[in-house]
Amino acid sequence: MTDTEAGRGRKGVALLNFAWRHKISSLIVLFLLVLTATRLPGLFSSRPGFSAFGGKEPVYVELSEPYFGTMRNLSRYYGSLTAENSFSLAPKVGGEILEIYRDIGDRLVSGEVVARLDDEEYVLAAERAKLNVSLSEAQLAEAEANHRLAENERKRLENLRGKGMVSQSEYEAAENRQLQALARLDVARSQLDAALNAQADAELRLSYTRVAASWPGGKDSDFRYVGSRLVDSGTLVTANTPIMELVSLDPLLVIVEVLERDYPRIAPGMEAAVSAEAFPGEGFKGKVLRVAPVLSADTRQARVELEVANPGLKLKPGMFAEVVFVFEKKENVWAVSQDVPFRRQDGYVVFVADPATRTVEERAVTLGLTEGGRVELVGTPPIKGPVVVLGQHLLSDGQEYRLPGDSALENVMPAGGGGNPAAVRGRISS
């Protein structure tokens, strides 16, 4: 082989190597182009609001049914139940408590005796007072007799004086004796009155050893209940030492502090719904009795007292209570969750879903009353379909939507979102 032929051979090998290397590069470039072409629609579809074909892609949303019914404008306040009438029962005299006839929870009528004190000292005092009355009566009788004698003597001497048989001085002496007898009679009468008063006082104090539960205007149907017993038998008490706490249970009072915004709308006679934590789901009727004429400068709140009917005596003083004032009530209105209305520059809108076409209708709305997490849609026509509760910020009128359960369809559809969703669903179900 000549040098020329050898050189030509080496050039041929170099050309083959160059061609092989460029062939591999071409294959790599071709592969990348094919891969990009197949993934390009998916890349576009991953951008929110765009589909593989230049339109708006379906948006995943969550739906909820709207509410149709009654909406109320109300305010809730919380307070404690308290007895409308309560007082401490105490003996009016001191002494040792011998017996207590009533205990916690017992029902009382006005005038009922609930305890007895040791009365020995008061019995003796009443007996002494009685004896003093008897003595005063005897002294009065003696004074009356002496007065009659003195008066008769004066009259006799007066007759004799007219006949000149008695001197003027003897007559005047008789007249003075009559006046003295009259004065002693007045003293005896006063002493008897004092003795009678002392006897009445002693008997009254003796009666106080029977401690009675009484209150003004007490009737047979006007009961009080023993809320607490503060002493036991054998306790030595002084006058006015409380031994029991008595309360009324029907009706009760509930006291709340209302805010300034609600204060002008609350007046005596207004009704309210009252509930207690102890009886969930059960309501009681309340009526405003009194409204404070001033608000606190610190809290901007005013005291409101409500009377709560308690015929079954279920409610008890001290229970936690919720009071609901209803200021306005609307029937047959449409309402949605407060998360549903989406705020735009020109107002609020809601998106009503059409399950048949899987599209949404954008509807401008005006908001009204709020209650229980719902908001009223003022004057809106009937909402025939569910509303979007999640994903509103990605929607526009007429846009398609998808539900979270539709994610399985994407896994079997061609890349880029092509294909017939209904046909795909048929393949999945089969």
What is the three-state SS of the chain? Answer: CCHHHHHHHHHHHHHHHHHHHHHHHHHHHHHHHHHHHHHHHHHHHCCCCCCCCCCCCCEECEEECCEEEEEEEEEEEEEEEEECCEEEECCCCCEEEEEECCCCCCEECCCEEEEEECCHHHHHHHHHHHHHHHHHHHHHHHHHHHHHHHHHHHHHHHHHHHCCCCCHHHHHHHHHHHHHHHHHHHHHHHHHHHHHHHHHHHHHHHHCCEEEECCCCCCCCCCEEEEEECCCCCCEECCCCCCEEEECCCCEEEEEEEECCCHHHCCCCCEEEEEECCCCCCCEEEEEEEECCCCCCCCCEEEEEEEECCCCCCCCCCCEEEEEEEEEEEEEEEEEECCCCEEECCEEEEEEEECCCCEEEEEEECEEEEECCEEEECCCCCCCCCEEEECHHHCCCCCEEECHHHHHHHHHCCCCCCCCHHHHHHHHHC
Q: How confident is the model at residue 221 (pLDDT cuts 50, 70, 90)?
A: low
Give the pLDDT of residue 155: 85
Task: State yes or no: pLDDT of 353 exceeds 80.
Answer: yes
Q: Return the closest-CA partner of residue 195 out of 147, 144, 140.
A: 140
Structural domain boundaries in the chain: 1-35, 59-69+331-429, 75-83+250-330, 88-115+215-247, 120-207
Residue 138, token pair as written in the block: 């005897």
Task: State yes or no: pLDDT of 120 exceeds 90.
Answer: yes
Give the pLDDT of residue 372: 84
Higher-confidence residue of 366 and 15: namely: 366
Mean pLDDT, range 404-420, rounded to an integer: 51
Task: State yes or no: pLDDT of 22 exceeds 90.
Answer: no
88-115+215-247: CATH number: 2.40.50.100
For the whole prediction, is pTM greater than 0.75?
A: no
Mean pLDDT, range 112-126, rounded to an integer: 94
Mean pLDDT, range 10-18, rounded to an integer: 51
* Distance from C-alpha of 267 to C-alpha of 421, rounded to nearest angstrom: 63
Give the pLDDT of residue 407: 60
Q: How confident is the model at residue 365 (pLDDT cuts 50, 70, 90)?
A: very high
Mean pLDDT, range 396-420, rounded to an integer: 64
Task: State yes or no: pLDDT of 131 exceeds 60.
Answer: yes
Give the pLDDT of residue 153: 84
Mean pLDDT, range 145-174, rounded to an integer: 84
Give the pLDDT of residue 406: 77
Task: State yes or no: pLDDT of 46 exceeds 50.
Answer: no
Task: State yes or no: pLDDT of 21 exceeds 60.
Answer: no
Give the pLDDT of residue 428: 35
Mean pLDDT, range 384-388, rounded to an integer: 91
Give the pLDDT of residue 14: 54
- Per-residue pLDDT tens for 248-306? 999 999 999 999 999 999 999 999 999 999 899 899 999 999 999 999 999 999 999 99
Task: State yes or no: pLDDT of 23 exceeds 60.
Answer: no
- Span 75-83+250-330 CATH architecture: Beta Barrel (2.40)
Residue 158, token pair as written in the block: 């007066």
Q: How confident is the model at residue 216 (pLDDT cuts 50, 70, 90)?
A: confident
Q: How confident is the model at residue 31 (pLDDT cuts 50, 70, 90)?
A: low
CA distances from 268 to 11, 248, 291, 299, 324 (A): 114, 22, 7, 22, 15
Average of per-residue pLDDT values in the chain: 83
Does domain 59-69+331-429 fall into CATH 3.20.20.10? no
Of 320-329, 369-378, 406-415, least confident by mean pLDDT is: 406-415
Mean pLDDT, range 381-396, rounded to an integer: 90
Task: State yes or no: pLDDT of 246 exceeds 80.
Answer: yes
- Per-residue pLDDT tens for 161-202? 777 787 888 888 888 988 999 999 999 999 999 999 999 999
The share of the chain scoring above pLDDT 70, in percent, equals 80
